[in-house]
Homo-oligomer: A and B are copies of this chain.
Amino acid sequence: MIVILRADATEANIQHIAEQATKLGLKTNISRGAERTVIGFIGPEDALRVIPLEVFPGVEQVLQVLAPYRLVSREFKKENTVIKLNYGETIGGNKVTVMAGPCSVESYEGLLSIAKKIKALGASILRGGAFKPRTSPYDFQGLGEEGLRILQQVGKETQMCTVSEVMDTRQVELLAKYVDILQIGARNMQNFSLLKEVGMCKKPVMLKRGMSATIKEWLMSAEYLLANGNFDVMLCERGIRTFETATRNTLDINAVVVAKRLSHLPVVLDPSHGTGSWEYVGAGARAGVAAGADALIIEVHENPEEALSDGAQSLMPDKFAELMAACKRVAAAVDREM
């Protein structure tokens, strides 16, 4: 922690701050420049975070030296985290894993049909929502537990791992019973109660980045999961809100690279939400693979006109086949399997 003082800060102001530091077991380094005095603190920075130094008399600015996350950082763990799943599947290794499926689970027959097709094309994890976060209370809210049952059943029949969203602390146990990966959605990235509950659960988690969250906030939310005991965490970049309206969100390709540099956790890319339109999903997926994403998650539907949610961004199986073929070539060009 570094504190920059106002030009008019007094010697008494400096002493008052130094005393607080001493009380907390920290040493100070006081640098008196021509225009500003700067105080550096030596010792465990966490101790200082409980003190609102901004309100101390004479303080102009407080600067953090260390990232506020620890367990998720590359400094804590140098090598990439590789998450092991059923059927020998992994996320975070050399292979670019593909998760695909409909936005919502709609019926057993429909899900089975699509699951077979996407598996044949190279997807190994089946996605499907049972509890849907919808902006309108009047929109389809998902099939609930019935949807989970269908997802599990189809996963078993096709030998695919499954992923579905958990929205409520009271659903964590239920989801953990049915699916292989619990998804925390963008709107719940800072639902700290949910993060704690999922952190205490033993299932792998995919944490989507909040719509307007910084990478640092995203990593702090992941820190909640690890700090509560769950280290099988994958990050998912799904586009952020910007002023652009031609796309539903702006796919932040930089975030893939930055997150992987700052953290050891694997990064999944979601070009379906990241673009919001089936016409742009393929290019987003190729860009993600080229930039180093560890996995893709893609919405696929056999009849988008009848999808109960997110039809506009769902690919038909033939377009998904094209996407897979193109991504495999790009993966090879960056020395990744797919």
Contact = CB atoms under 8 A, between A and B. Distances in A.
Interface of A: 2, 4, 7, 29, 31-36, 38, 40-46, 49-52, 54-56, 63, 65-66, 68-69, 75, 131, 133-140, 167-171, 187-188, 190-196, 211-217, 220-221, 223-224, 227-228, 240-247, 250-258, 261-262, 274-275, 277-280, 283-284, 286-292, 304-305, 307-308, 310-312, 314, 326, 329-330, 332-334
Nearest to A60: B65
30 contacts: A4-B65, A32-B42, A33-B42, A35-B66, A50-B140, A52-B311, A54-B311, A54-B312, A55-B278, A68-B138, A135-B190, A135-B217, A136-B220, A168-B193, A168-B194, A214-B243, A216-B245, A240-B243, A244-B254, A246-B254, A246-B262, A250-B252, A251-B253, A251-B254, A253-B283, A253-B287, A254-B283, A257-B280, A283-B292, A333-B333
B170 A170 contact: yes
A223 to B, nearest CB: 6
A107 B144 CA distance: 42
A45 B56 CA distance: 25
B212 A212 contact: yes
A286 B334 contact: yes
Nearest to A256: B283
Contacts of A187: 190-192
B253 A284 contact: yes
Nearest to A133: B192
Contacts of A46: 138
A286 B280 contact: no
Counting every copy of the chain, the complex holds 4
A242 B252 contact: yes
Given A52-B305, A193-B167, A258-B246, A33 B43 contact: yes
A139 B252 contact: no
B247 A250 contact: no
B254 A250 contact: yes
B136 A223 contact: yes
Nearest to A38: B40
Contacts of A45: 35
Contacts of A2: 2, 38, 63
Contacts of A171: 193
Contact of A55 (B32, B191, B304): B304
Given A29-B29, A135-B220, A256-B283, 14 more contacts: A31-B42, A34-B42, A35-B66, A55-B304, A56-B305, A134-B192, A137-B220, A137-B227, A187-B190, A244-B255, A250-B250, A250-B252, A254-B284, A287-B288
- The 10 A-B pairs at the shortest CB distance, nearest first, are namely A52-B311, A212-B212, A168-B193, A290-B290, A287-B287, A54-B312, A29-B31, A187-B190, A286-B290, A329-B333
Contact of A137 (B43, B138, B228, B274): B228
A323 to B, nearest CB: 12
